[in-house]
Amino acid sequence: MSLNKLSGGNEMNANQSLLEHAANGNAEELENILQNGKFNIHEKDENGNTPLILAAMNDHPAAVRLLLQAGSFTHTTNKFGHNALIVASMMCSTEVVEIILEHSRKVSERTSPSIVALMCANSLESQGCMDVAHLLRNNPG
């Protein structure tokens, strides 16, 4: 597990920075935090979004890749029941969807919400997200 312990306010600052840099796609700063090792990779914001979900939501492929390499779980959901794959799919982010699916294959991780992502494929097609819908249909969890 990639949980690293800190003392006092440093943990909150590191975790808040991790969330912010993931949401903003600041890969260089994100990598610095990840290399420092003083963070909770599974930290959640007020909506239950992890750094991975925030990076996926804002279409930041480099940040998504870094977070997955650091041990982020793709199956973690926010308070709306969405995981990183579902959020990236809803945003029509083909590259992020590809990264998450590839990572899931490598670590044999299958996400139960991927069923929801498959169900979203029809809706995505009607929104013009043909590439994402195709990826979801051809890479079932």
What the chain holds in terms of domains, given with CATH numbers, is 9-138 (1.25.40.20)
Band the pLDDT of 96: cuts 50, 70, 90: very high
Cα torsion for 1, 56, 100, 25, to the nearest 10°? -80
- Rg over alpha carbons for the chain, rounded to the nearest Å, is 15
Instruction: Assign 101 to helix, strand or coil.
Output: helix
Whole-number pLDDT of residue 113: 44
pLDDT beyond 50 at 77: yes
Band the pLDDT of 37: cuts 50, 70, 90: confident
